[in-house]
Amino acid sequence: MYNIKIKIINILKTILYNRYKKKIKIDIIFNINYNKFGDININLLKLFPFIKPNKIKKNAFILGRIIKKKLYKYIEKFKIINNFLNLFFNNNVYIRTINNIIKKKYKIYKLFNKEKIKKDKIILIEFSSPNLNKPLHLGHLRNILIGNTITNIYKVLGYKVIKSQLINDRGIHISKCIAIYKNYKKFIEKNKNKIKGDYLIGYLYFKFEKKLKNEIKYLSKKYKNKNYNFLINKSKLLKIANKILIKWENKNNSIINIWNIIKELVFRGFEETYKKLNITFDEILYESNTYLLGKTKILKGVKKKIFKYDNDNSIYFIYNNKKNILLRKNGTSLYLTQEIGTLLYRLKKYKRNLLKLIYVVGNEQINHFKIFFKILKSFKLNIYKKLYHLSYNSVNFLNKKIKSRNLKYKNKLIFIDDLIKIINKNVKKFIKINPKNKKIELISLGAIKYQFLKINPNKIIDFNLNKILEIKGNTGIYIQYTYARILSILKKNKVNKRSTFYKIKNIRYILLDNEKYLIKLFINYYKILLQSKNKMDPSILINYFYKLTKVINNFYDNNKIIKIKLKKVKKIKLIICIIILKFLSLNMKILGIPILNNI
């Protein structure tokens, strides 16, 4: 269909030059909707800016006749509506398109894939990247799903992609957990096989923060001062945590041993959550292995006068007339230092093969990445041009607070494991299904992923448990239900979903409007994939997917294929069903939504 569009543009160029001696940039619209405006729309006011408005219609009529005559194999008719010349494809164009889809083995996206990809180049996408001081929560969930979906879109388009996770396994937050570990050692030993490790360590962090809060209140009364920075500097608890951080950087054996215990517990907990989400990584990096590279680079930056020592011996970088600390006065590093170190490690590992590095990190870190990129520019490291911060907004949980299992956390975070558990319960309530059926978990997973991905990353998600299981709404279960419905057509007609058909020949069947509409939406798929990739926005793909799914259900409701007696007509409709299934399957794979053969 897009080839016909090119043919039309070439005809228009020839006519404009031969008839009017004009060279005009021609932009025509491929109308993916099925309506009175046809398949190709040409804006006559833009095409004929040199002709008086009252004479445009006459010239457009001549133009329409010429195009219809030259492209008689493709164009059935034309209409002039509201200063637009509207061209209508004939039935053979749609049949040819179906044949082309069969030729490409039902891989619709390959029909128009013209991305020029160098096979040795790599797209590296860093996402999730949690700290070790708490379980994975809803903020992480949004991060994970965006990162994984963008990865899958790149892969479908033919790129070589590496899914990378950078775990922040060092720093003051870990030191706080180490500081309080001895007080809860027996509790942890007793419960490490009953409670997930990340919950246990999160509990330690919560206890430390609670003690710190009480200490700050006490100090505020003691010094009659409410200045937080003043009070923090007086905190004995924080001084202990900072001393532990220094000991850790100096490889103190007792501190390293506790650190290793904490790491093992948390990693095991994270792995369990990733397994539930069906998420894997190609590469896992640890900041404990890369931060020293960053420290070395910072010290070189001081010599080059890129960075400066402050009065307290800390090292800072000026950005927007503000001091940004890179190394604390005690010599320990911060996030920016570790960011630099990890990038240097990757540059050494991937050398010149890195085409793009995408950081999926919340919008609260926008300034962090601006400073990071500016530092790289100051070092004349042109790699900053290949780096991209894919930011996203927060998640609001609109229902009553979910209680975290086994442990009492008094904070605002909702953990992923607890969310999955409560949605599994809701599936059992709202859908007639055996409580022990494994489909419950698959329905829950589809519901969660769809709900998070359908919102533009820049917008806040208002997550509502009551709306994500509507079987005929803009939900994950609606997509799973649609797949099951179309599969049932093939089963009733004893056709395997993996069946392949030869080309359609000599069939005098006029496709129905909803069938033509479906084909046009299929053809537009590659364009949608590109938009999602270029704008780093999975919601573009989801919204298109939902629109298409409604048309698919309309097709299902209006086609009783098993009752059709003409074999050739039945064949076309069954081919369309297979195309639909292949399409749904591919999109569900990109989005990470489990496929169900029946609900």
Residue pLDDT, tens place only, 219-273: 999 999 999 989 999 999 999 999 999 999 999 999 999 999 999 999 999 999 9
Task: Find all residues with CB under 8 Å of 360, minimum gap 6, and list them.
Answer: 125, 126, 127, 128, 143, 146, 147, 150, 390, 392
Q: Is the pLDDT of residue 14 over 60?
A: yes
Q: What would the pLDDT profile of 445-462 be if each residue is shown by its tens digit?
A: 999 999 999 999 999 999
DSSP state of 382: G
Residue identified by tokens 């994270």 is 270
pLDDT, position 27: 79
The residue assigned the tokens 């920075």 is: 229
Alpha-carbon distance of 546 to 480, in angstroms, equals 12
> What pLDDT was estimated at residue 364?
95
Q: Is the pLDDT of residue 143 over 60?
A: yes
The arithmetic mean of pLDDT across residues 268-283, rounded, is 96
**539-575 burial code (b ≥16 CB/10 A, e <16):** bbbbbbbbebbebbbebbeebebeebeeeeebbbbbb
- Judge contact between 126 and 161, C-beta under 8 A: no
Of 91-95, 104-108, 334-338, where does mean pLDDT reach its minimum? 104-108
Angle at 442 between CA 441 and CA 443, to 5 degrees: 90
In a 10 Å sphere around its CB, with 0-12 CB exposed, 13-18 middle and 19+ buried, how is residue 113 labelled? middle
Q: How many helices (H) and strands (E) does the chain have?
A: 21, 14
In DSSP terms, which residues pair with 165 in a beta bridge?
284
Q: Kindly report the backbone phi and psi dihedral angles of residue 509, in degrees, each rounded to the nearest multiple of 5, phi listed first.
A: -110, 125
Rounded CA gap, 74 and 564, in Å? 28
Q: What percentage of the chain has pLDDT greater than the value 90? A: 65
Apex CA 206: angle with CA 426 and CA 398, to 5°? Answer: 30
Of residues 257 and 352, more confidence is placed in 257
Q: Sketch the domain layout of the chain as residue ranges.
A: 2-89, 169-280, 416-591
What per-residue confidence (pLDDT) applies to 107? Answer: 67
Spell out the residues 6+ positions from residue 19 whose beta carbon is closer than 8 angstroms to its own.
none
The confidence score (pLDDT) of residue 95 equals 87
Contacts of 527 (CB under 8 A, 6+ apart): 112
Structural tokens at position 5: 């569009």
Do 441 and 433 form a contact (C-beta atoms < 8 A)? no
Q: Which amino acid is at 183?
A: N
**CATH class (in words) of the domain with range 2-89:** alpha beta
Tell me what pLDDT residue 261 has. Answer: 96
CATH superfamily label, 416-591: Isoleucyl-tRNA Synthetase; Domain 1 (1.10.730.10)
Please report which confidence band the pLDDT of residue 304 belongs to, taking 50, 70 and 90 as the band edges.
very high
Give me 345's structure tokens.
């490690």
Integer Cα distance of 143 and 147 in angstroms: 6
SS3 587: helix
586 close to 593: Cβ distance less than 8 angstroms: no
User: pLDDT per residue over 16-42, tens digit each?
Assistant: 888 888 888 887 888 887 777 889 999
Q: At 465, is the pLDDT very low, low, confident or very high (cuts 50, 70, 90)?
A: confident
The tens digit of pLDDT for each residue in 385-405 reads 999 999 999 999 877 655 554
- Does 421 score more than 60 pLDDT? yes
Indicate if the pLDDT at residue 508 is higher than 80.
no
Contacts of 370 (CB under 8 A, 6+ apart): 319
Cα separation of 468 and 477, whole Å? 8
pTM of the model: 0.91
The pLDDT of residue 20 is 86
